[in-house]
Amino acid sequence: MFSIGLQNSLVPRLTARATSQLHLVQQLLGGVHLDDSTDKRISVFSKGEVGLDTGALYRLLKSRGQRNDLGANFVWKNSAPPRVQLFMWLLVQGRIQSRSLLRKKHIVQDSICQVCNASEETPEHIIGGCAIAVSFLARLNLNSMIGVQLQNLKSVTPPPGFPVDKFSAFLALGCWEIWKVRNAKVFRQESISAVQLINRCKSSAQLWSHIFSAKKRHIPQSWCSYFEMASSGQG
């Protein structure tokens, strides 16, 4: 960042507020001097060398008045990686940075979805209403997720013949990859098809299998087979 400049690494669509904040950050960076010592990363939510302490984060959210009826177990007790669990916690509360929310914060001028250009981009639209999401869910035989209300996401049931165990993690994987496809379009102008999205899910499932216990590793492997069939139109 010091060699190429912070502004060259940002998406070139800064609002007046973001431009003002950028100037403040640049002033702070002006007093920073780099050296060759080892980086130190400190967070009240760190868990030693393991990573993020999602349990502590959840307890903090509850202490701030969050209710348990938002599906805490659905979010925090599945086998998704911690950052995906955090994303799902924000998702079920409708607090991911959709354009509808950004417009309320006066960060963007309109709330039209930049993927389909057909509807307002709400969290519900991103996950179960946008054209790419609808095509993706239909291929996976998850039609009950199309148009789903986020508070009902925890009640979605597996397709016929699909394993029930760890299904919440499977849903988290799908929602996470849909969100990443949305971001690829918004920030990098990349258009991704439903088949490509399914293949991305398969690749992620292969990676996720390493965080499952040996006794449960067959579950993400079965996901890969399901994604493969869906990709070829057999789902």
Count structural domains, the chain: 1
Position 4 in a domain: no
pLDDT tens digit at each of 235 positions of the chain = 777 777 777 776 777 888 888 888 888 888 888 888 887 777 777 777 667 777 777 777 666 555 554 478 888 888 999 999 999 999 999 999 999 999 998 888 899 999 999 999 999 999 999 999 999 999 999 999 999 999 899 999 999 889 899 999 999 999 999 999 999 999 999 999 999 999 999 999 999 999 999 999 999 999 999 999 999 876 5
Position 197 in a domain: yes
Position 121 in a domain: yes
pTM score, whole prediction: 0.74
Residues with Cβ within 8 Å of residue 217, at least 6 apart in sequence: 209
Phi–psi pair at 112, nearest 5 degrees: -70, 135
CA 12 remoteness from chain centre: 23
Residues with Cβ within 8 Å of residue 11, at least 6 apart in sequence: 187
The secondary structure of the chain in percent helix, strand, coil, rounded to multiples of 5, reads 55, 0, 45
Cross-strand partners of 52: 46
Helices H, strands E: what count in the chain?
Answer: 10, 0
Position 30 in a domain: no
Position 101 in a domain: yes
Position 203 in a domain: yes
CB 185 within 8 A of CB 193: no
The range of the structural domain enclosing residue 133 comes to: 54-231
Tokens of 195: 């088949």
Position 20 in a domain: no
Position 15 in a domain: no
